[in-house]
Structure 1
């Protein structure tokens, strides 16, 4: 009873469980610090997932090296997910391995299948929210701070600190949620459609954020000007800025997006931008403001 109380005093390890809170925290830290360990196209993040089990495997099968090898082999299979949002899968896997070690009739394939079925949805929502919303918003704020001039570097420092704090906090919360709740809560979360609603909302917000970034950070200015009867007509000032402000930056961004959809590499796109910039700059079609 004393052992159970010690393990659950901070709400991390579960009552009657084999995994200590110290090992659980070490497992989470390994996952957050080394998610790309031995990354390869055969197993993706599989070996990093197995690395996560290093602190707990001997607690689960203290006197059974064969069971330890079996667990590590099972957890090193193909796995790929967003690091912070997908950390709950690793916490859940530890919980299931713990139940299995205590005699629960959990087949090996069940643990693998649960991990495989959850990694896709959580990778999708993680990439959408983290890379499409959190990072652009934070970058936009911090870039503006840096561009204030005077050798100001606080924007860069603030971004580095905040993105690390956010990543560690989110990863830790998800990891411990997965461990405490187990597979049932995560699957229920998906079946109720909560994930799809979050994903839809994040996609809409991501589009709004990207639109704001295009207006502020993409610059394309037309330099074409006509003269008639002593009156100059500038396409940029008298047409685009009057009727369709920022239409050229939007067109350039959507053109690059279309090339990416047609599987153009980033190197080819950068090369094309350089060529277009040189040609249009020399001919006066585009100008620098």
Structure 2
């Protein structure tokens, strides 16, 4: 029979720490520490269970946990659980160097941020939005799409965050590092990237509209560039081109305001000259 893991933190306090992380991860977001103050806030309900007779050591824990930290909220929750587990073991006498805890957090936040942003923001949110937007557009005054989206995205985020947080706390750093070393993370990231590109391609076709209005009129016929050329040879090439143009400007560090203004100017000029239509 496996020996039960000794703990200092009551389950109620651990749940409160997780709820703080899911609810307030960016309330004190800043360029110096990013989410560091939020991490220290996570330790607020549990720090009293560490080093009860040594307030100086408790201060050291809080100083260590308030350092620079930045990760995807839901996928990175396992790092917080893992950090709590290591601080708990250290408080119980395990020889865990303080810099080891900091280094583990630093080394894991980059890969998990990449996975989280790719899967959550690049796949889950666009797919869910596309489905719920179609539900909303299916009937006049239909608000169920927005309600379903709000419920599913909030519930999904909390479930995923809780599972990752508790996984990190129970499994510790060894399981997460093993997960990285086996290459599972790279395979997952690659698959999510491909899936994300497919989703974005589908969204471009359905929601980006760019129609050429140029026509060549002769005595016998009318040649419409959109219907007779683009739709036949390269369907939806103009929406794709517009999207890639915006993406290129973002890569060149154009602000969203400048891009919106540029789109408005191009739309006005294109509409007045007949190059673009709707």
Range into which the TM-score falls when normalised by the shorter chain: over 0.9
Q: CA deviation at 1:37?
A: 2.5
Q: Which runs of 5+ in 1 are unaligned?
A: 1-7, 9-13
RMSD of aligned residue pairs (Cα, Å): 1.1
Q: Which residue of 2 aligns with 1:39?
A: 29
Match of 1:198 among 176, 188, 191: 188
Match of 1:147 among 137, 153, 156: 137
Q: Which runs of 5+ in 2 are unaligned?
A: none
Match of 2:174 in 1: 184
How far did residue 51 of structure 1 move?
A: 0.5
For the residue of structure 2 that corresponds to 1:226, the secondary structure is strand
1:89 aligns to 2:79 (yes or no) = yes
Match of residue 121 from structure 1: 111
What is the distance in 1 between the residues matched to 2:23 and 2:134? 29
2:155 alignment partner in structure 1: 165
Paired residue secondary structure (1:80): coil
Could you say which residue in structure 2 is the equivalent of 1:15? 5
Alignment of 1:1-289 (within 5 A): 15-288=5-278
User: If the length of structure 1 is used for normalisation, what is the TM-score?
Assistant: 0.94
> Structure 2-normalised TM-score?
0.97
> Aligned residues, how many?
276
1 CA distance for matches of 2:52 and 2:141?
A: 57
After superposition, the C-alpha distances for 1:49-101 in whole angstroms (9 at most, x for unaligned) are 01001111111222322111111111000000000000000000000001000
Q: Shift of residue 243 of structure 1?
A: 1.4
CA distance in 2, matches of 1:37, 1:258: 31
- Residue by residue, what CA displacement relative to the aligned partner does 1:96-146 show, whole Å, maximum 9, x if unpaired? 001000101111111001000000000000000000000000000000011
1:157-186, Cα deviation, whole Å (9 max, x unpaired): 110000001000000000000000000000
- 1:244 Cα deviation from its structure 2 partner: 1.1
Alpha-carbon distance in 2 for matches of 1:115, 1:238:
57
Q: Which runs of 4+ in 1 moved over 3 A?
A: none
Q: Secondary structure at the match of 1:55?
A: coil
